Structure 1
Amino acid sequence: MKFIDLFSGCGGLSLGLLNAGYTGLFAVERSADAFSTLKRNLIDQEFVGLNGRFDWPNALECRNHDILALLDDPEASRYLDSLGNSGEVDLVAGGPPCQGFSSAGKRDPDDPRNQLAFAYLEIVRRVKPKFILMENVRGITQTFTKAGSQSLPPSEQIERALAELNYVPFHLIENSSQWGVPQARHRFVLIAIHKDQFLGSNVNGDSLQLLSTGKELATKVEAQLKVFAEEFKINKGLPPLVTASDALKDLKTLNFLGNPYKLVDVPKDDSRASGFKQIAEYAPTFCRNPAYINLMRKGWERKKCPNHGLRLPNHTVKVKKRFEKILEDIDDLNLQTRYKLARGKTLPLLYRQEVHNSRKHSLTVLDPHKPSGTVTTLPDDILHFDEPRIMTVRELARLQSFPDWFRFEGPYTTGGSLRKKTCPKYTQVGNAVPPLMAEGIGLFLKESLGRLLHIETGKIEKHETQCAQRAALI
């Protein structure tokens, strides 16, 4: 199956689809840093070969592209139209920028980033894929309110637009931990199927009928996805639930006695800033189930440590002492009762104010016995479960299910005016679709959805026959 990845970021969704045996045609990503990561790992496949690869077209320069500029380019438009005429594209995938939809943001209906979802739809209109896979935040399903009036949730607007383009759309809320990812990341996943894929059936209803068919399909697909996800984890050798400890035990800087492992300077080709350290090699694996760690190290077994992204933070003594205090308090029964402290949840405001006099909006201590919460683009949002420090890029990449050979390009962090020009490593990781979840859903679309459509085709044909018979009697 051939796919196009829109708003691809560093390539989490593409990586999953390639691992599922898909062939990529091209990817559209505005950020030069993120596209550089995708190109080096997935197009050039510099580090590890994959089950699938990109077959980049001559009509499109292999570089970062702005989707709006691409749609305005005459040569690119002709190429997109040729794909639609040939029926070459099986899947258009990707997740438009989510900041305008996120419940963590301002949820401004006029945020220009919201309109990029409709640029996505314009690509769909031109290339006419058989299937669509869109990923986004759950907030996309919520109604926007402005000046006392309400508009339709963006998800419903998108589904109605897809129905007008002859697709049967429906959406689910997927938890990435269901697919073996050590992160409870709840995401909006939209699947749309061109009506011609209902084999043998003539699904010629109007858009309202296509929307209705989609709603009927959603419940059935959701049930099958759960079964498929369990089989997927078994095939990967993964336990029912992968925890933060299962994912990170070999990336520690301290042993079980609290003594440090050997640290070395960060390579210059990973970080231009001087004075930073990283672990010298993998730590011994002491965890209940090393299956996930083994999966992340697959293809990289002979290396001493992961492919960059290991730079440790240079915390001041004051910050380190605060983190030590938090790690001490988080398991104190009295403080848990007084402040409602708990691992895996944002530190309560009262605790932050009374104990630390801190204005930090969000800080969560990992629970080693559970998947992490949602990995964000801010490096100081998550505290390690038993070391007084924030997470490295590699550790967050592990929680996102990026394998250890996958290398992130660009700076670690940025600030000021550079925020508009760069997409640092931490941001690339936080914005990505977990590759393991993407692989599982990609395999489901290839292997199981067709059987479900065949069953549904028979039901649709039967319904159409009954309608025709009733009409004949009138």
Structure 2
Amino acid sequence: MTKLTFADLFSGCGGLSLGLTLSGLQGHFAIERDDMAFRTFAANMLERKGARRFDWPRWLEKKAWDIEELLDQHLGSLRSLRGQIDILAGGPPCQGFSFAGRRNEGDPRNLLFKKYVEMVHVLQPRAIVIENVPGMRVVHARRNVIDLQHPKRLENKLSFYDKLAESLSDAGYAVEAKLVDSSTFGVPQKRSRLIVIGVRKDLCEWLDGGVTHVFDLLEQARIAQLSELGLGEIVTASDALSDLEISGRTLSPTTDPQCPPRYLEASYHGPKTPYQELMHFGHDGPMDSMRLARHRDDVRERFGKILAECRRGVRMSDADRKSYDLKKHRIFPMAGDDPAPTVTTLPDDILHYSEPRILTVREYARLQSFPDWFHFRGKYTTGGKLRTKECPRYTQVGNAVPPLLARAIGKALQEMLAEVSAARDQFARTTKADAPALAIG
């Protein structure tokens, strides 16, 4: 059977694309504006030997593209794809309405949703899927005196999700959204995300239960996935990372050519748990992105005290941060026997559950369910104003859709489209069978 196809907008390093291909979908093209993130995407999704995950169009250069640039330069070619893309996927930038950091509703990146909707108009896919932060569905008004004295002025305010749903409805799609916790899909991380599913209205009428039924199929896909992959209901941080602990391991200079000198990495001795075996399957050669942070002695000592004295698995309280003279607002000492907290784009947000250090990029990737064969490109971190312009490795991983979550979404969408096709075929057969009787009558 011919595989269903998808295109991925705002693909980042490729977490969503990887999961969709693992579900059995065939990629057609992907758009990502950051050069480092696209280099990671290309290395794993386009250049990896033995895997034809994308059937890339000849007219589209394999490089980092801005979506507005793509629409300006290739609108005619995109229109020629109408009817050929089954699923349009994407995760437009979420920084403007994320709760993890400074929220800025005026962030120009938020307007990229309009470009996503424009691509929907052009391609007219059968279904769409968007992953984003829960804050996308929340209305945040400016808390000033005028608003407090005139609460009715807030009645007409819409969340970004509301605006998106209205725009997609105008484009001909029935849309529904649901908060989903990635940790229930075999991802060792408490990561709550808003999953938005849209189905073209002419197809939705054939779907028993409408677009909401897709989330019933997603639940079925979740249960099946845990069984197929041999994973329990909960995968803990220790289940994911114990084979990457550095205690008792040989530390050697990193061989990563994109890493400055004097950094070390630990030797790797093999997986210990079912989740680690799943992540390590298909890997060959040295582990990628194993570079350890270079903590000062006093920093390691402070991290050790935090792990010994503070509550694990939750954000450090204001009182605890003050006692350790920490100005950073978000610090999570991990608990080894629970899923990790939400991985962000900042490497110093999370402390290892048993060692006085932050996590490596590879450990971040494990918590996001990226397989060990997935290699990352570009520098490791950035800072200052460049944080809004660059996408180094920690940012690539933190922004990504967990591949295991994306895999289940891909399974659910395929089942949904199969049900639509079956319902239409059944109607056609019934109509054909009734035609002679109707003619005689």
Cα distance change on mapping 1:144 and 1:80 into 2, 3 Å: farther
The amino acid across from 1:347 in the alignment is M
1:349 aligned residue:
318
Unaligned runs of 5+ in 1: 202-212, 255-259, 331-341, 459-474
2:60 aligned residue:
60
2:225 aligned residue:
232
Counterparts of residues 165-184 of structure 1 (less than 5 Å):
165-184=171-190
Is 2:261 the counterpart of 1:274? yes
Give yes or no for contact 2:344–2:398 (8 Å, CA) kept in 1.
Answer: yes
2:293 aligned residue:
313
Counterparts of residues 416-427 of structure 1 (less than 5 Å):
416=384, 418-427=386-395
2:27 aligned residue:
24
Counterparts of residues 127-276 of structure 1 (less than 5 Å):
127-146=123-142, 148=147, 149-150=153-154, 151-198=157-204, 217-218=211-212, 220-254=213-247, 260-271=248-259, 273-276=260-263
1:206 aligned residue:
none
Q: Aligned-pair distance for 1:352?
A: 1.5
Q: Aligned-pair distance for 1:441?
A: 0.8
Structure 1 residues 25-46: Cα deviation after superposition (integer angstroms, max 9, x where no partner): 1111010000000001101124
Give yes or no for contact 1:249–1:283 (8 Å, CA) kept in 2.
Answer: no
Counterparts of residues 1-150 of structure 1 (less than 5 Å):
1-46=4-49, 49-50=50-51, 53-73=53-73, 76-84=74-82, 87-146=83-142, 148=147, 149-150=153-154
Q: Aligned-pair distance for 1:449?
A: 5.5
| Alpha-carbon distance in structure 2 between the residues aligned to 1:414 and 1:405 | 24
Secondary structure, aligned partner of 1:145: coil
The amino acid across from 2:99 in the alignment is S
Secondary structure, aligned partner of 1:375: coil
Q: TM-score, normalised by structure 1?
A: 0.83
Counterparts of residues 404-443 of structure 1 (less than 5 Å):
404-416=372-384, 418-443=386-411
Secondary structure, aligned partner of 1:278: strand
Is 2:336 the counterpart of 1:368? yes
| Alpha-carbon distance in structure 2 between the residues aligned to 1:328 and 1:452 | 55
The amino acid across from 2:71 in the alignment is L
| Alpha-carbon distance in structure 1 between the residues aligned to 2:417 and 2:191 | 23
The amino acid across from 2:98 in the alignment is S
1:386 aligned residue:
354
Q: Aligned-pair distance for 1:105?
A: 4.0
Secondary structure, aligned partner of 2:197: strand
Cα distance change on mapping 1:298 and 1:190 into 2, 3 Å: same
| Alpha-carbon distance in structure 2 between the residues aligned to 1:452 and 1:343 | 47
Q: Aligned-pair distance for 1:109?
A: 2.9
Secondary structure, aligned partner of 2:343: coil
Unaligned runs of 5+ in 2: 148-152, 427-441
Structure 1 residues 115-159: Cα deviation after superposition (integer angstroms, max 9, x where no partner): 101110000100110000001000000013247354211111111
| Alpha-carbon distance in structure 2 between the residues aligned to 1:185 and 1:436 | 12
1:296 aligned residue:
279
Cα distance change on mapping 1:221 and 1:411 into 2, 3 Å: same
| Alpha-carbon distance in structure 2 between the residues aligned to 1:44 and 1:455 | 39
Give yes or no for contact 2:256–2:289 (8 Å, CA) kept in 1.
Answer: no
1:396 aligned residue:
364
Q: Aligned-pair distance for 1:195?
A: 1.7
Q: Aligned-pair distance for 1:60?
A: 1.2
Q: Aligned-pair distance for 1:110?
A: 2.2
The amino acid across from 1:182 in the alignment is P
| Alpha-carbon distance in structure 2 between the residues aligned to 1:360 and 1:441 | 35
Give yes or no for contact 1:144–1:152 (8 Å, CA) kept in 2.
Answer: no
Of residues 301, 304, 309, the one that matches 1:329 is 309
Q: Aligned-pair distance for 1:270?
A: 4.2
2:150 aligned residue:
none
The amino acid across from 1:249 in the alignment is S
Secondary structure, aligned partner of 1:240: coil
Cα distance change on mapping 1:58 and 1:320 into 2, 3 Å: same
Q: Aligned-pair distance for 1:248?
A: 0.4
| Alpha-carbon distance in structure 1 between the residues aligned to 2:206 and 2:333 | 54
- Alpha-carbon RMSD: 2.3
Secondary structure, aligned partner of 1:4: strand
Cα distance change on mapping 1:456 and 1:373 into 2, 3 Å: farther
Size of the aligned set, in residue pairs, is: 414
> Which of 143-152 and 8-17 deviates more?
143-152
Cα distance change on mapping 1:173 and 1:449 into 2, 3 Å: farther
Secondary structure, aligned partner of 2:187: coil
Q: Aligned-pair distance for 1:70?
A: 1.5
The amino acid across from 1:121 in the alignment is V
Q: Aligned-pair distance for 1:101?
A: 1.4
> Which of 100-109 and 356-365 deviates more?
100-109
Secondary structure, aligned partner of 1:83: coil
| Alpha-carbon distance in structure 2 between the residues aligned to 1:455 and 1:269 | 55
Q: Aligned-pair distance for 1:72?
A: 2.0
Q: Aligned-pair distance for 1:53?
A: 1.2
